[in-house]
Amino acid sequence: MPISTQISAFAPLASFPQAPPGPADLGGWPHRAEVPFPVESVFRVRPDLVKLGPAPLWIEDHLWPQWIAQKHRLMGQARLPIAIAGLGASMLEQLAGHVQDAVAADHGPIDHHGGFRWLGGFRARNSEEFFSALTLSVQEDFVLMRPGANGDLHAVLMSVAFPSGWSPEEKLGQSMIQIHQPVAENDALQRATPAMSEAMLEKGPFVRYVWTLAGNDALSRQPGADTLADVSRVDQLWFRCERQVTVPLAGFACLFLIRVFVARLTDVLAAPGRRDLLIQALQSMSESVIDYKGIARARRLILEQSSTVLKVS
């Protein structure tokens, strides 16, 4: 069955025909959220879920209006949110209810009465409006995952505006095993998938990070796009990192949050020790990982120019 017949696109929010209002407390947010640097000296593909602890679910900054404007444009093209066709109004209502119960807070996108604080207190009339409003509330992308017959989590609803080299339309409906199939050296990850699915469904929240290198600061990377083709200097490189947070929804489903961070590599490596750590990580990567990430050119430039361009160690 063609994937296009499996997708149900939500109608744009009529309440926001141009662009949604901005948060009243924007002045209290950081100008630009700090970019995580989860680089280790030995790179390994592993199921590294870590308890989130007291850290926030959401990380918003002064770039919120630009990010939300991009989401609003995609929503107008019926590209997000999207769900598996035939998921059903009842299932959507249950998912929306569980999400609200899990994330409602005194400080956050949704208050305890169901109002979307950063959208002027907007209240959704149904589950489609709920997920559309959540899309337009946060810089995070999100995915709703439900257990299948074998317990493996499947992506049943997606609101992904800033994917890192993959197509949300193609991943919708897939299991975690299928989603991670293209990942290089994924044996440990695949073996751990049943335990990961159970943990994400019942425990947490958890956080994990995925990083790579790019030739531009685009928030969204299309499948197969080579952003490094015209890059010839290390100072043209960008560091790209995803902060991924899983939120259990009372054993019914899992909310998967994705926050993208992009910054100039030279700025990220300004902190002591980071240059050497990155070089060690790149040297430890197998060719299959380098090929999967598409960073062969970036690695070569860094190893050739690090002593002259990246002087901080």
Element (H, E) at 306: helix 296-309
Ranked by mean pLDDT, the top range of 24-28, 148-152, 251-255 is 251-255
Position 195 scores a pLDDT of 79
Average pLDDT of span 22-41: 90
Q: Residue 36 — pLDDT band, cuts 50, 70, 90?
A: very high
Position 17 scores a pLDDT of 65
* Residue-level length of the chain: 313
Q: How far is CA 170 from CA 27, 83, 241, in A?
A: 38, 12, 22
Q: Residue 190 — pLDDT band, cuts 50, 70, 90?
A: low
Which stretches of the chain are assigned E, i.e. beta strand? 7-9, 50-51, 82-84, 115-116, 122-123, 141-147, 153-159, 206-214, 238-249, 253-264
- How do residues 51-110 score in pLDDT, each as one tens digit? 999 999 999 999 999 999 999 999 989 999 999 988 889 999 999 999 999 999 988 999
Distance CA 127, CA 15 (A): 15
Residue 193 or 142, more confident:
142
Given a cut of 50, is residue 313 above it in pLDDT?
A: no
Q: Residue 177 — pLDDT band, cuts 50, 70, 90?
A: confident
Average pLDDT of span 153-176: 92
Given a cut of 90, is residue 112 above it in pLDDT?
A: yes
Exposure of 104 by Cβ count < 10 A (0-12 exposed, 13-18 middle, 19+ buried)? middle
Share of the chain above pLDDT 90, in %: 68
Phi and psi at residue 15, to the nearest 5°: -70, -20
pTM attached to this predicted model: 0.92
- Close Cβ partners of 110 (under 8 Å, ≥ 6 residues apart): 100, 103, 104, 116, 117, 134, 137
What is the C-alpha radius of gyration for the chain, rounded to an integer number of angstroms?
20
Average pLDDT of span 38-51: 88
Residue 183 or 52, more confident:
52
Distance CA 23, CA 109 (A): 9
- Give the distance, in angstroms, between the CA of residue 284 and the centroid of all CA atoms in the same chain: 25
Position 18 scores a pLDDT of 72
| Mean pLDDT of the residues in the chain | 89
Distance CA 248, CA 255 (A): 6
Position 5 scores a pLDDT of 37
Distance CA 175, CA 193 (A): 10
Residue 190 or 74, more confident:
74
Average pLDDT of span 143-157: 90
Q: Residue 125 — pLDDT band, cuts 50, 70, 90?
A: very high
Q: Which one-letter amino acid corresponds to residue 43?
A: F
Given a cut of 50, is residue 312 above it in pLDDT?
A: no
Q: Which one-letter amino acid corresponds to residue 105?
A: A
Residue 124 or 25, more confident:
124
Which of 177-186, 189-198, 234-243 shows the lowest mean pLDDT across its residues?
177-186
Q: Which one-letter amino acid corresponds to residue 27?
A: G
Average pLDDT of span 15-43: 86
Cβ atoms within 10 Å of 83's Cβ, excluding its own: 26
